[in-house]
Amino acid sequence: MLNGKKVLLGVSGGIAAYKACALTSKLVQSGADVRVIMTEGATQFVQPLTFQALSRNPVYTDAFDEKNPEKIAHIDLADWADLVILAPATAHLLGRIANGMADDMLTTTLLATTAPVYIAPAMNVHMYDHPAVKDNLLTLEKYGYHFIEPGDGYLACGYVGKGRLEEPENILKVIEQNENQPQPLKGKRILITAGPTKESVDVVRYFTNHSSGKMGYALAQEAKKLGASVTLVSGPVQLDPVPGVEVVQVTTADEMYEAVIDRFEEQDMVIKAAAVADYRPKDAINQKLKKKDGPLVLELERTKDILKTLGEKKDHQYLVGFAAETNDLIHYGRQKLEKKNLDAIVVNDIGNQHIGFQSDENEVHVLTRSGQEKALPLGSKQDIANQLFEIFIEDMMGETN
């Protein structure tokens, strides 16, 4: 599966560098074109000549050693690679790349590449468990890096535990499985909205709703996994960014409207999963509204209907809406599908307390313009997102045939 792939192998300074020699050999045997970058520390454990002989390519160790004056080596390598493997990745290397440092040939190349990066850590068991290392791993995961977990066993330091570099054949197996995953949305641009909006009453108070954004974020993660270029327009939520996804932060319904409309023309699919306010105070007060005796009356006005506007504007886009209902789910879902010129609608039963806005689980009904009607049973929102894309992709393919 790696036959013909251009693989850049980064080797850092740990005793496990000797395993990178076997990994290089196996990559070459699998048909990959391999080039190796070594840190200065790595050259203390294995000579560059070893990797040169195994890869049949020059080995790079110095960012200032420009062998070809017509090219900048680290940019050329970054552009050349189909994928990058860091094995072993020491605690020091993880800290440098997590903080965006570019102080040697390997780190400058990593900052410049857009290829998938697979990290295979190797270090002492206590180092691997240190809070700083854990934080660096989480940061790199948010950046979209892939990880190949270290194994348990006897370490060179004498400890027994987690931290041993995974065996070369297992590293290849993980990468091949990941690279072989179907990406039916590769080349497609998808915009997803998520979370609530906030509409100010005064400088202290605002109207909002209970949306957590979890469903929209799960959809963004799934779309990215399926190969799409994803833009996530998000209201204020307490969720971590989705690795590899462009996030546009908004607060009000008007801000979400502008963010979506500005990007709509270039999209292949739009999924509007956000819970946008239907009404806002007509006149927001620029100071704190004082408490008075008796009732308070606020005049509200309609916000712009984002989904209806998209339905009127669409030409080639596949448009998906969400509907939160408490009764007659199919009836109201079908009405909204037709009224707003959607290709599909996902209906949530918000009357079910077990699958409310803040829940990690959901169950939905999906209706499509082509006549499909499917109930997705209770499952995690990530599982629901996976099943939804199966339906959307099948429906899109039916439309183009």
pLDDT tens for 253-276 read 999 999 999 999 999 999 999 999
pTM: 0.69
Instruction: Give the pLDDT confidence score for residue 177 in this predicted structure.
Output: 83
Q: What is the pLDDT of residue 285?
A: 83
Average pLDDT, the chain: 90
- Amino acid, res. 190: I
In this predicted structure, the answer to whether residue 101 has a pLDDT above a threshold of 60 is: yes
Catalytic position from the list 75, 111, 132, 157: 157
Least confident of 27-36, 78-87, 280-289, 335-344: 280-289
Determine the pLDDT at residue 244: 78
336 annotated as ligand-binding: yes
Domains of the chain with CATH codes? 6-179 (3.40.50.1950), 189-400 (3.40.50.10300)
Closest Cα to residue 279, out of 348, 333, 206, 336? 206
Give, as one character, the DSSP assignment of residue 188: -
Per-residue pLDDT of 296-341, as tens digits, reads 888 999 999 999 999 999 999 999 999 987 788 888 899 999 999 9
Other Cβ atoms closer than 10 A to 3? 8
Do the beta carbons of residue 155 and residue 195 sit within 8 Å?
no
Q: Give the Cα separation of 89 and 83 in Å (integer).
A: 16
Q: Is position 188 annotated in a ligand binding site?
A: no
| Whether pLDDT at 400 is above 60 | no
pLDDT higher than 70, residue 230: yes
In the chain, the percentage of residues whose pLDDT exceeds 90 is: 67
- The verdict on whether residue 293 carries a ligand-binding annotation is no
In this structure, the dihedral spanned by the alpha carbons of residues 34, 38, 42 and 45, taken in order and rounded to 10 degrees, is 50
For the cut 90, the answer to whether the pLDDT of residue 70 exceeds it is no
pLDDT, average across residues 94-120: 95
DSSP letter for 275, please: B
Q: Which of 29-33, 156-160, 375-379 has the lowest mean pLDDT?
A: 156-160
pLDDT in tens, 312-322: 999 999 999 99
Runs of H (alpha helix) within 244-316:
253-264, 306-313
| Token couple for 65 | 């050693």
Residue 142 labeled ligand binder: no
Mean pLDDT in residue range 227-249? 91
* Whole-number pLDDT of residue 162: 67
Which single residue is written with the structure tokens 């916000």? Answer: 303
Count Cα atoms within 13 angstroms, Cβ side, for 54. Answer: 24
**pLDDT level of residue 143 (50, 70, 90 thresholds):** confident
pLDDT digits (tens, 9 = 90+) for 86-100: 999 999 999 999 999
Residue 161 has pLDDT above 70, yes or no: no
Q: Is 21 a catalytic site residue?
A: no
Q: Which residues pair with 364 in a beta bridge?
A: 348, 376
Percent of the chain as helix, strand, coil, to the nearest 5: 35, 25, 40
Rounded to whole angstroms, the Cα distance separating 274 from 211 reads 8
Residues 6+ apart with CB under 8 A from 312: 341
Spell out the residues 6+ positions from residue 134 whose beta carbon is closer than 8 angstroms to its own: none
| pLDDT band at 188; cut points 50, 70, 90 | very high
> Mean per-residue pLDDT for 276-280?
94
Structure token digits, residue 142: 């948010």
For 195: left if phi > 0, alpha if psi spans -120 to 50, otherwise beta; the answer is left
List Cβ neighbours of 29 (8 Å cut-off, separation of 6 or more).
none
Give me the helix-helix angle, 17-29 and 48-55, nearest 10°. Answer: 10
pLDDT (average), residues 77-82: 94
Q: What CA–CA distance (Å, rounded) separates 229 from 53?
A: 39
pLDDT of the residue at 37: 97
Would you say 67 is a known binding-site residue?
Answer: no
What does the chain come to in residues? 401
Q: How far apart are the first and last CA of the chain?
A: 30
Q: Angle 343-229-190 (CA atoms, 0-180°, nearest 5)?
A: 15
Q: What is the pLDDT of residue 180?
A: 76
Q: Give the percent of the chain with pLDDT over 70.
A: 95
